[in-house]
Amino acid sequence: MMTDQQAREMTGYDRRMFALMNRREGTPFYATAARRRLAVGAHIALTVASDAAWLLTVVGDQRWAMWTMVALILPWCFATGVINGATRGLLELRERALDERQRAEKARVAARARGLTQWLLLAAALGAGAVALQGWDTEGLLFPVLFTLFVLHWLMPLWVAGLAVKDEPEDFEDPEA
């Protein structure tokens, strides 16, 4: 719940974003844990496909991959919106628009995402070391691997937050009323 002090500190932008992130129209897409997992899984799959298409466009000079990226952008944005709606904008809202519980949850999500990204970076470093020990030619792999790791670092908090969201309590109706 937002305090009066927080409401006074919020700018017009903060109020609009808060209202947008707390709209209820998208609830059917993230109402259950299974749907949230599906949205995060779809977002991961769309991100992998978009990342691969972009790399094929830039590094592989494949023109058709650009059209693949164009086709993937709307579903990717929709999945992003579903996750943001499920988390009530936890990662999109400024600190002043979050209550204490949300701030603590944001810190937990960031720490968990940082830990997962750290393990992915370690795996990449070990993989690079193993490839170097074998003497394989890796000249063309540096940029795609680093770009993919950047994308994972950027989106990991969103995915972790989407998977960490708890079901909202059912509306309690008093049988005596």
Q: Closest Cα partner for 144 from 64, 41, 53, 68?
A: 53
Both structure tokens of 65: 């991959």
Q: How much is the pLDDT for 9? A: 79
Q: How much is the pLDDT for 132? A: 84
Grouping H, G, I as helix, E, B as strand and the rest as coil, residue 1 is coil
Residue 78 CA: distances (Å) to CA of 57, 92, 141, 153: 23, 15, 31, 20
Cα separation of 170 and 83, whole Å? 20
Summarised one tens digit per residue, pLDDT across range 123-170 is 999 988 888 888 887 778 888 989 999 999 999 999 999 999 987 766
Q: Tell me what percent of the residues of the chain surpass a pLDDT of 70.
A: 90
| Whether residue 174 has pLDDT greater than 50 | no
Q: How large is the average pLDDT for residues 72-89?
A: 94
Q: How large is the average pLDDT for residues 90-118?
A: 93
According to the 3-state scheme, what is the secondary structure of 75-127? HHHHHHHHHHHHCCCCCCCCHHHCCHHHHHHHHHHHHHHHHHHHHHHHHHHHH
DSSP-assigned letter for residue 174: -
Domain parsing of the chain, residue ranges: 11-164
Which residue type is seen at 34? Answer: A
Q: Tell me what percent of the residues of the chain surpass a pLDDT of 90.
A: 55
Average pLDDT of the chain is 88
157's enclosing H/E stretch is helix 142-164
